[in-house]
Structure 1
Amino acid sequence: MNNHEIDYELFGDDMQFVQVELDPKETVIAEAGSLMMMDDGIKLETVFGDGSSRGSGGLMGKLLGAGKRVLTGESLFMTTFTNEAHGKKHVSFASPYPGKIIPMDLSEMNGKIICQKDAFLAAAKGVSVGIELQRKLGTGFFGGEGFIMQKLEGDGMAFVHAGGTIYKKTLAPGELIRIDTGCLVAMTGDVDYNIELVGGVKTALFGGEGLFLATLRGPGTVWVQSLPFSRLASRVFAAMPQNGGSKGESGLGSMFDFLGGDRD
C-alpha cells in the first residue's frame, strides 16, 4: 500500500458524515470546509494541492498540481489531518448538502476513479487528486459539468459525495447508457465517456433536459445521482418570493400578512 490505510464508519441517512479512524502518524486529506469534528491529538495543516508525493517535482511541481485544482473550481489548498497521539483518533467530515457519501477503495478499481468536479470529500493521504481532460472538444464545450473532471488515483480509500439517491451500475463490454450530464457522479477509468446532441429541435428546446446527454460505454462501473446540487439550487431559487415563488409556506411571515400585522 502506498496510501495510508484508514478505517472508517458512515453515520446518518440523507445528511451523512464519515468518521475516519487514524492510527498514530496516519493522515487523511480533505477539501477545505468539510471538517465536522476531530479528536484531540490530531494535527491540522494546510498544504498545496493534495499533499501526495506523486510527481511532486519540487516546488514547481507542487504549484502546478495546485494550479490544476483551480481549473476544477476548487481551492489551491487542501487540509491534512494527522494523528500525532499515541492511540487511535477520529476525525469526521460532513456532507455539504442532502445526499450520500460513497466510499471507494481505489485498489479495487484499477487505481483510478473519474468524478464530477465537486464530488470529492476526503481520502487517505497518498491519493492523488488531479484533473481528467476529456479527449474530445465537444465533450469539453457542451458537457454540462465541463470537460475538466476530477481524477482520483492511488490504492487507498476515497470518499465521494453526491445528491439524493445514488445508483451504481456495472456496464458490460459495449453496453451503452445515456445520463443527464448533471446526474453523472463518477465512473471507473475504463468507461468510455462522450457527449451526444439530443435529437430533434423541439426535444432540445422544450424537452427540459437540455441539449446534450452524457453517453457512457462499458466495460466499467458508473455512479449516478438522483438530485444534482444545481437542480436543487435552481428549484429553491425559483421558489423564492422575490423570484415569483409562492408565499404560502413562509410561516410566520404569512401569518402576519393574514392578520394585517406590522412586522416593524
Structure 2
Amino acid sequence: MNNHEISYKLYGDDMQFVEVELDPQETVIAEAGSLMMMEDNIQMETIFGDGSSSQGGIMGKLFSAGKRVLTGESLFMTSFTNEGQTIKHVSFAAPYPGKIIPVDLSELNGKLICQKDSFLAAAKGVSVGIEFQRKLGTGFFGGEGFIMQKLEGDGMAFVHAGGTLHKKVLISGETLRIDTGCLVAMTGDVDYNIEFVGGIKTALFGGEGLFFATLRGPGMVWIQSLPFSRLASRVFAAMPGKGGSKGEGSIAGGLFDLLGGDGK
C-alpha cells in the first residue's frame, strides 16, 4: 500500500459525518472547512496541493495545486496527522444534506472520477487531480464543466452526494442516461458523453435542461437525487425578495402578498 491505511466509521443518516481512525503517524487529507472535531495530539497543517507522495519537488507541488484551481478548488488542503502514541480520531462533516460515500480505490483499479465539489477527505497519498473528458461536447454542455475531479491511489477516499444516493453497476454495453447534475462519481472504465435531449418542444418546455449524460458500461456509477445546485436554486427562488411567498404557500400568504406584503 502506497497510501496510509485508515479505518473509518459513518454516523448519521441525512446529515452525516465520517470519523477517521488514525494510528500513530498516520495522516488524512481533507478539503478546507470540512473538519468537525478531532482529538488531542492530532497535528493540523495546511499543505500546498494534495500532499500525495507522487509530487516531485516544487514543480510537482505547483502542478498539483494548479490542477485543483482548474476544478474550482482552493490551492491548499489540510492534513491531519496523529503525532501521539495511541490511536486518535478526527471527524469530517458533510456540507449539506445527503450521503458520504466511502470508496476503497484499491478495489476500483486505483481511479475514481467524480464531480469537482464532491471530494471530502482521503488517506494521505491519494492524488486529487483533474479528468479531461475526451469529447468537447462534454465540456461545453455537461453542466459540471469540461473538467471533473480524478482520485487516484490505493487508499480510502470519501466523497459526498446530495439527497438519496443510488449505486448502479453497468454491465458491458449497458447504457444509462442521467441528468448531468445528478452524476456524482463513476469508475474509470465507464464511457461518458453528453447528448442533446432531442425534439425542440422537449428541449424548450420539458423543464429538464437541454442535455443529459450518457454512461455506457462496464463499470459502477453513483447517482444523487438532489444536486446542491438544484437545492440552491429552489431556496433562492423561494426567497421573498426573489419572488417567493412570505406566507409559505398558504392562502393567507397569497392575500398578504396581494396587499403589498407589509399591510401598508
Q: CA deviation at 1:125?
A: 0.3
Q: Equivalents in 2 of 1:64, 1:221: separation in Å?
A: 29
Q: Secondary structure at the match of 1:13?
A: coil
Question: Partner amino acid for 1:100?
Answer: K
Q: Does residue 1:153 correspond to 2:152, yes or no?
A: yes
Q: Partner residue of 1:165?
A: 164
The alpha-carbon deviation at position 57 of structure 1 amounts to 2.6
Shift of 1:216: 0.3
Q: Could you tell me how far 1:146 is from its partner in structure 2?
A: 1.0
Q: Once the 2 structures are TM-superposed, how far is the Cα of residue 53 of structure 1 from its aligned partner? A: 1.6
Match of 1:133 in 2: 132
Partner of 2:211: 212
Runs ≥4 residues deviating over 3 A = none
CA RMSD of aligned residues (A): 1.4
Give the secondary structure class of the aligned counterpart of 1:79: strand
2:97 equivalent in structure 1: 98
Q: Find the counterpart in structure 2 of residue 190 from structure 1.
A: 189
What amino acid sits opposite 1:236 in the alignment? V
Instruction: Compute the TM-score of the two structures, normalised by the length of structure 2.
Output: 0.94
State the alpha-carbon separation in 2 of the partners of residues 68 and 6 from structure 1: 25
Q: Quick one: distance in 1 between partners of 2:30 and 2:99?
A: 17
SS, match of residue 236 in structure 1: helix
What is aligned with 2:14?
Answer: 14
Cα distance in 1, alignment partners of residues 222 and 248 from structure 2: 35
Q: Which residue in 2 is equivalent to 1:35?
A: 35
User: Could you tell me how far apart the structure 2 residues matched to 1:191 and 1:78 are?
Assistant: 28
Q: Which position in structure 2 is the counterpart of 1:245?
A: 244
SS in 1 for 2:28: strand
The answer as to 2:177 corresponding to 1:178 is yes
- CA shift, 1:127, in A, is 0.5
Give distance in 1, aligned partners of 2:60 and 2:124.
18
Which digits, 9 at most, give the CA deviation of each residue in 1:112-166, with x for residues without a partner? 0000000000000000000000011111111001120000000000000010000
- Distance in 1, matches of 2:56 and 2:137, equals 32
Give the secondary-structure state (helix, strand or coil) at the position aligned to 1:61: helix
- Unpaired runs of at least 5, structure 2: 257-261
TM-score (norm 1): 0.94
> What is the alpha-carbon distance in structure 2 between the residues aligned to residue 53 and residue 20 of structure 1?
20
Deviation per CA, 1:61-99: give whole Å up to 9, x if none: 111110110111100000000000000000000000000
Q: Which residue of 1 aligns with 2:64?
A: 65
Kindly provide the amino acid, as one letter, of the partner of residue 49 in structure 1: G
Aligned-residue offset at 1:249: 3.5
1:233 is aligned to 232
